[in-house]
Amino acid sequence: MYVVKSPLSDENMWTVSEALQGALVDLVDLALVAKQIHWNVVGQRFRSVHLQLDEVVSLARAHSDTVAERAAALGVSPDGRAATVAVGSGIGVTPEGWVDDTTAVGTLVEALGAVITRMRERVAATDEPDPVSQDILITITADLEKQHWMFQAENG
């Protein structure tokens, strides 16, 4: 049976792996949600919103990869399958069909806000058990909060 030699104690391991798995699910869903609205947005700000959403997609995809590989590096199998994401994501239900641009921006503000709240809890939770994982989560939070500002300013 394959076992990675982990640099963490069992207890710390449990805390950190929960934080990383949670972050993975949130980030995979964020990418899917942003793409969904990228395709369905309509209205006068169509092009601006369409383009900005692809920046969120790129960012969420890159960070989900980092988080999953960090889990693997600690010996924890990451789970980013569709069913797992559909059930465990911290983001609320995304509206079906076309969305006007103001709603589109609002949806992203909501989604990013929900993920940020959970990310900040993960930053706090991993501080003691593993500063290396925490550092990765801090970088992700900074990026998400920057996007959060930009979407709020867009509807400001």
Site for its own copies in 107-126 (CB under 8 A): 109, 113, 116-117, 120, 123
What is the radius of gyration, based on Cα positions, of the chain?
16
**Is the separation of the CB atoms in 20 and 81 below 8 Å?**
no
The answer to whether the CB of 106 falls within 8 A of the CB of 45 is no
CB closer to its own copies, 14 vs 46: 46
Q: In the range 39-98, which residues lie near its own copies by CB under 8 A?
A: 39-52, 65, 68-75, 77-83, 85-86, 89, 94, 96-98
Q: Tell me the closest approach of the beta carbon of residue 11 to its own copies, in angstroms.
A: 16
Q: b or e along 57-72 (b: 16 or more beta carbons within 10 Å of the residue's beta carbon)?
A: bebbeebbebbbebbe
148 binds its own copies (CB under 8 A): yes
Binding mask 20-39 for its own copies (x = CB under 8 A): --------xx--xx-xx--x
